[in-house]
Amino acid sequence: MSIDWAALGQVFGVSLAVTVGFVGVFTLGILGTSRKAQPAEAGPGTTSTARASATAGAALGPARVGAYACFALCAAVVAYGINLIVA
Average pLDDT, the chain: 84
Phi-psi bin for 45: left (phi > 0), alpha (psi -120 to 50), beta? left
Global pTM value = 0.68
Sequence-distant contacts of 54-62: CB under 8 A, at least 24 apart? 60/35
- Predicted pLDDT of residue 37: 66
- Predicted pLDDT of residue 63: 87
Give 17-74 pLDDT, tens digit per residue. 999 999 999 999 999 998 776 665 655 655 555 555 555 556 678 889 999 999 999 9
First vs last C-alpha separation in the chain: 27
Phi-psi bin for 3: left (phi > 0), alpha (psi -120 to 50), beta? beta
Give 27-40 pLDDT, tens digit per residue. 999 999 987 766 65
C-alpha separations of 73 from 49, 65, 78 in Å: 36, 12, 9
